[in-house]
A = this chain, B = another copy of it.
Amino acid sequence: MSIPEELWRRFQEGDPRALARALTLVESGHPAGRELLKRVRGKGRAKVVGVTGSPGAGKSTLTDRLILEARKRGERVAVLAVDPSSPFSGGAILGDRIRMMRHHQDPGVYIRSMASRGALGGLAGATVAALSLLEAFGFDRIFVETVGVGQSEVDIARVADTTLLVLTPAAGDAVQAFKAGVMEIADVFAVNKFDLPGGERIVQELKSALELSPPRPGGWRPPIHPTVAASGEGVEALFESLEAHHRHLVEHGLLEGHRLERARFEVESVIQEWGRQRTQGAGALVARVARGELTPEEAALALLGPGPEAEEGAL
């Protein structure tokens, strides 16, 4: 199915309702959405910032403040808020972030919630496709906010240019997060709710942990920013660090690598989704695996075939 040319015209003219419609087409996996993606690919280029951290760390409030900083500098800003979806209902649960409603009247700010569908805590392929739409629409900066600890951090680090990890002094899981390798993913740290007791301790723990972590590409040293998102304290300096990291990527020729990783993530997501669909539709085959008559590898081969590369002996 082709895109209604009217929609495409309005999208190119910068009509936010056309953008919203386009995002819905992409998110729902509609053929017109895929056609739209083909047209917009490679158009536009935004600074993509992933914002991640534990539930309750204040990511939404902090993002809200960072939007203001970006707007002060004249940037057009989009936010993709990725909500964990129910594995049963399939829909996003948290809905649009209320706190960001203050930007409702600002045409330079666009906020969209997306479900993480089928990948609770992780990023759906559609989220990354939405990034391409937003870039083509002409946004200068896109914040991708993800909830949860785990897969989403790894995913966001693959998709974003800059990854901001938000911690709090109250977070009893901070040390656990360090251990879990999330430390290695973040480019910039915020210790939010710094007015609570224990902020300095967390900063010191972070510093110690960073000294032990492997060196970053180009010798980047992740800065740690105390912030109080509720009052805006420390947010300007945090924004400057996001900018500094982006300059670092450009100066060291690292930006292209990030874009390749994002494309790789998209391809993997497509394959994963195909695998899920084909496996769901293959009840008899799965039953044979459950009975021990087939190995999972044999079932996967039956579902996918050896693939063109394997046929050429390349695998």
Contact = CB atoms under 8 A, between A and B. Distances in A.
Nearest to A266: B296
Interface in A59-96: 84-89, 93-94
B148 A149 contact: yes
A295 B151 contact: no
Interface in A264-315: 264, 266-272, 274-283, 285-287, 289-293, 295-297, 299-300, 302-309, 311, 314-315
A276 B306 CA distance: 15
B303 A125 contact: no
A173 interface: yes
A97 interface: no
A243 to B, nearest CB: 23
Contacts of A305: 304-308, 311
A140 B269 CA distance: 37
A81 to B, nearest CB: 13
B295 A303 contact: no
Contact of A267 (B119, B129, B296): B296
A42 B295 CA distance: 11
A75 B165 CA distance: 44
A281 to B, nearest CB: 7
Contacts of A264: 279-280, 286, 289
Given A55-B177, A309-B303, A295 B38 contact: yes
A86 B267 contact: no
A274 B304 CA distance: 10
A180 interface: yes
A37 interface: yes
Interface string A237-261: 0000000000000000000100110
Contacts of A125: 296
Contacts of A151: 119-122, 150-151
A275 B272 contact: yes
A273 to B, nearest CB: 9
Interface string A199-224: 00000000000000010000000000
A145 interface: no
Contacts of A17: none
Q: Which of A170, A181, A268, A296 has the most CB of B within 10 A?
A: A296
Contacts of A21: none
A41 interface: yes
A176 interface: yes
14 contacts: A55-B176, A56-B176, A89-B214, A120-B153, A148-B150, A150-B150, A264-B289, A268-B276, A269-B296, A270-B297, A271-B271, A281-B309, A304-B304, A304-B305
